[in-house]
Structure formats: C-alpha cells, structure tokens
Structure 1
C-alpha cells in the first residue's frame, strides 16, 4: 500500500521534471536562434488562416486569456470553492498555482527579454515575448481547474468532456496570440511547458500535504 501511494505521488514530479527539461530546451534554442524555422513554419500556417471571421474568433480567445478575465474567472471559482464546496485547501492550491505562474512569467521575461514579432501584427501589445503570459495563465488556470474538478465528476464521459474543454481553451488562447501576431509559437509552447512544470510541482506538494493530514488524522484515532 505504501509503495503504491509513493508511486502515485512521484508521477507529478516526473511530469514536472519533463516539462522543465522541455522548457529549458526551448529556451536554449531561442538563445542560439535555432528555433527560427519552427516559428516561421507555424506562423505561416496559422496566419495563413486569416479572415474577418477568424480574426473575430481569435480576438475573443485572446480576450478570455487576458489578465482581467483570468482574475475574474479565478475569483468566481474561489467563491464557488469557498461558499459551496467549503474547501479552503483547494482554494489555496489554485491561488498558489496562479500566483507562482505569474511571478515566473514576469521574472523570465526580464531574463530573456525577447522582442515580440513585428510582421503581420493585428493588435499592439507592449512588453517582452518569451514566455507567453497568456499561455502560462491559461495552462495554470484551466489545468489547475481540471485537476480540482476531476474528483467531483463521477462519470468517465463527464471527465473526458472536462479535459477536452480545458485543453481546447488552453490551445485556442495560445493559437490566438500567434494569429494576432504578438507571439512566436516557441513563446506559446515554452509557456505551456513552464506552467506545466509549476502546476505538476504544486500538485505534488498538494497531494503530499493531503497525505500527511490523512496520516495525522489516522494517528489521532489510533
């Protein structure tokens, strides 16, 4: 029993390490200008889909992933967790994931100082490009929500729908930033991997914390 529990707890750490390795690989490729072809091919393909209707859709997704909307969604979720589910631990977990992701994004943008793309810019955005703040916020928010909501959904179909919806939002928010000309694809992918590493690390700490509480609870009744 102990062996199985340890194995389950180690999986998030393994995923966190793999995501971190992938992020470092992308960061090094950007520093050496080795990822230019990858960026150029994806930019050409995504921006080749440009049309008035598509532009409107991408504006909506980039708006959903903007800072104000992420804050609003987070506050609504926090209220639901606190008022209806009465689960302060889940609330603290989600807040930790989002705050940590935001701090990491701010710090690493200052470290890399990558300029944004200048070709086919549909909207104007200031600040550095790598890693993408929108992609990190989307992965942290919807990935964190998927982790928390998973155990509250009893059916396999419901869980599958929830995962698909979360993945779709994360993917479309990232693609919208490439389509609108404010990020390179490597900014988006790098943001996903960095935020994934942070999310899985938080999941590991959260599960370990719950396990210790369970052990203390069991001892108190022994």
Structure 2
C-alpha cells in the first residue's frame, strides 16, 4: 500500500476509535457549544437583562452603587485575580509553558499548545465583534475597559489558556495525581477570574457564563485532538499513531 494511503488509514482509524475518556471530552465540548449558542440567543433577544442586572446590583451597596458589598481588601484582591486573565499574564504563561515543553523535548505538544491558544484568542475576538454587546452601565466599573462585553474575554481567554495549558501539560506528566492537580488548577483559575469580572462590574453574569462555555468547549476540543493524534512520549515532531 502506498505511504500516503497508509498515513490516511492510520489517521482515520485513530480518529474513529474513541476511548471512553475521549467520548467524555467530546460530550463536554458539544455541551459547551450548545450552551454557548443557547445563551447567545437569549442575550441577543434581551431575555437575560433582568437577571444580569439583579446580580450586579446585589454585589454593590444599595446606598452607593460605586461601593462593593465586601471590604476594600477584597476589592484589591479581586483586582489582582482579574489580572491573571489579562493578555499580558496569559501571554507570559503561554510562552513559559511552550519553552518548558520545548526544553523537555515535547516539541509536538509545544507547537500544538501555541496554535490552540492563539486560535482560541482569535475566536474570542471574533465572537465579541459578532455579538457586539455593550458593557454594563448599571453600576460603575472598578477597572477601565474599552471593548465589547459578550462573551467575557477574561472568562473565555482564561478558560482557553489555563484549561488548554493544564490539559496539554498533563500529557507530559507521569503520575495521575499531577495530571489531576494541573486540571484542577486550570479550572480554579478560570472560575475565579470569571467571578472577578462580575465583582468589578465590567461584565454581566451571562457574559462570564458565555466565556466559560466557549472557552471550555475550545479547550476540550484541543484536548481531544491532542489525545487522538499527538504522542505523549518526547518526540521532535508530531506523529500519528
């Protein structure tokens, strides 16, 4: 059989033979996409407006909407947490992770990780421009913002970056406990960053939910592709098993 036919057959066989964990990841990806599309429809129709406003108002003092309900030190901590979802920090984390994988001779995962995260960032920007939802103005913003509101860039990009980093870095780990720790850390950071955007008054709750759904779906899709086609063992290039 010619080489290109062997390659094609191995690629198709590898894609079609799903393991149970791969089916779970696929279900998470499909569920995230469905939830995002459903939520986007509700947002565009204005059905979530009352819910969004109620949550934002509940996080502020009734006598002064510029003052959060928590002490000032909490506001300072939330500002630090939200910075973890900013472009500067996410870019630095991505570069450091890619360099680590390259030094560990995990070239395939390093390249795939960079392309996955960069692609997620492009999708996030496109979704914001497509929906073009203005930022909430019901409460004063505690940080300066300029772009559109839905989906939350911090929520989506943190999910894309931290979940993808956790999923792909875990493939280079020998022990199950370290893989679980990486995934739990990625989920925790994504969750905290999304909530910080609500507290600061710069996003509606549905913005954050939309960002989580889209980002998690993207990360799950990347994880699924990595499990199917990228070797876990150190290699100098991507290989098909």
- Relative to the length of structure 1, the TM-score reads 0.85
For the pair 1:144 / 2:157, whether they are aligned, the reply is no
- The equivalent of 2:117 in structure 1 is 98
Give yes or no for contact 2:79–2:196 (8 Å, CA) kept in 1: yes
RMSD: 2.4
CA gap of 1:46–1:167, structure 2 versus 1, over 3 A, is farther
- The equivalent of 1:173 in structure 2 is 193
C-alpha distance in 2 between matches for 1:93 and 1:38:
39
- The equivalent of 2:39 in structure 1 is 26
Q: Which moved more, 1:16-25 or 1:117-126?
A: 117-126
Q: CA deviation at 1:79?
A: 0.9
C-alpha distance in 2 between matches for 1:168 and 1:139:
10
Structure 2: runs of 5+ lacking an equivalent: 1-13, 61-67, 232-237
CA gap of 1:154–1:46, structure 2 versus 1, over 3 A, is farther
Structure 1: runs of 5+ lacking an equivalent: 216-222
Q: Which moved more, 1:142-151 or 1:175-184?
A: 142-151
Q: CA deviation at 1:159?
A: 4.2
Larger radius of gyration: 2
Question: Deviation string for 1:32-51 (max 9, x for gaps)?
Answer: 11112332333234445332
Structure with more helix by fraction: 1
Q: How does 1:111-190 map to 2 (within 5 A)?
A: 111-118=130-137, 119-151=139-171, 152=173, 154-156=175-177, 158-190=178-210
C-alpha distance in 2 between matches for 1:101 and 1:107:
10
Matched pairs, number? 212
- The equivalent of 1:219 in structure 2 is none
- Aligned to 1:6, which of 18, 25, 28? 18
- The equivalent of 1:220 in structure 2 is none
Q: Which structure exhibits the higher relative contact order, with contacts defined as CA atoms closer than 8 Å and separated by 6 or more residues?
A: 1
Q: CA deviation at 1:5?
A: 4.6
